[in-house]
Amino acid sequence: MKKILMTSLISLILASSVSAGTDGENSLSKKNSGHVKDCFENLNRATFKLNQVLDSVIFEPVAKTYRILPSPVRAGTSNTLDNLSTLLTIPNNILQGEFKKAGINTGRFIVNTTVGVVGLFDVAKKIGFPGYEKEDYGQTLGAMGVGAGCYIVLPVLGPSTVRDTVGSFANVLGGDVWYNVTVANNTQHFSDFDYYASRLGTGIDFRAKNIDSLNNLEKNSMDFYASVRSLYLQDRQQKIANSNSITETQNDSDWEEIETQ
């Protein structure tokens, strides 16, 4: 059933990309960095406002509470979440033909999971492994030349595109390797709670790292919605192109370190 759903979704993204890209303005891939249309702007702005309300009532207060925790605890949590995300990055390295990076990330995962106590400590970094670059199925589709389609704002999840939304389904259905390896196979190291807590923790960790940056961006933006849209699309293009350049609004690492000064 999952395979049928994934096939249907990928077919939809391909069809959307072709139709949206006929005017030469909707493609956003490694081969083409053209403009991405905001086809559903009115709906997107309404969803964006809803997300702002949810953020102010739920997510930002939780993130602020999380920031009160001692720095070593937050660093260890972030390291553990990054280590688990390696299991999503490795298959995408392979799909993009980046076999060397896949090998490096496999080694990173083994070292950090064992010596680093399930990733609590980033031992791989300390012994000289290259910097970790996250990959997902949306990036892989872009690297394969699939256009972005229209810009979309998803409830709770935030900015996306048609292509990245389909990639998100793939992340959920096919990318949760660690769940299958640990929970489904009953290794007794992880439970269902650990799995869902890790997904929630990733969002909280991200929000906590960006409280000040996003507040500054909102304060200094004439149109906060447009600023977030621009930031997201620049970030995605850099990741697809594996670029190390720095844009006006963020550096080369991730959404996690947004520069707004």
- pLDDT of residue 24 exceeding 50, the answer is no
Closest CA to 144 of 92, 104, 102: 92
Closest CA to 139 of 167, 160, 161: 167
pLDDT confidence bin for 185, thresholds 50/70/90: low
- pLDDT of residue 226 exceeding 90, the answer is yes
Q: What is the mean pLDDT of the chain?
A: 78
- pLDDT of residue 105 exceeding 80, the answer is yes
Burial of 135 (0-12, 13-18, 19+ CB in 10 A): buried
Residue with tokens 């290259």: 130
End-to-end CA distance of the chain: 48
* Side chain identity, residue 95: L
pTM metric for this prediction: 0.74
Pairwise CA distance, residues 130 & 108, whole Å: 9
Give the per-residue pLDDT at 152: 96
Pairwise CA distance, residues 88 & 46, whole Å: 31
CB 81 within 8 A of CB 113: no
Per residue in 142-176, pLDDT (tens digit) is 999 999 999 999 998 899 999 999 888 776 665 45
Pairwise CA distance, residues 91 & 96, whole Å: 9
Give the per-residue pLDDT at 247: 47
Of 2-11, 28-37, 45-54, 224-233, the least confident: 2-11
CB 168 within 8 A of CB 176: no
Give the per-residue pLDDT at 84: 85
Per residue in 57-89, pLDDT (tens digit) is 999 999 999 999 999 999 999 999 899 888 889
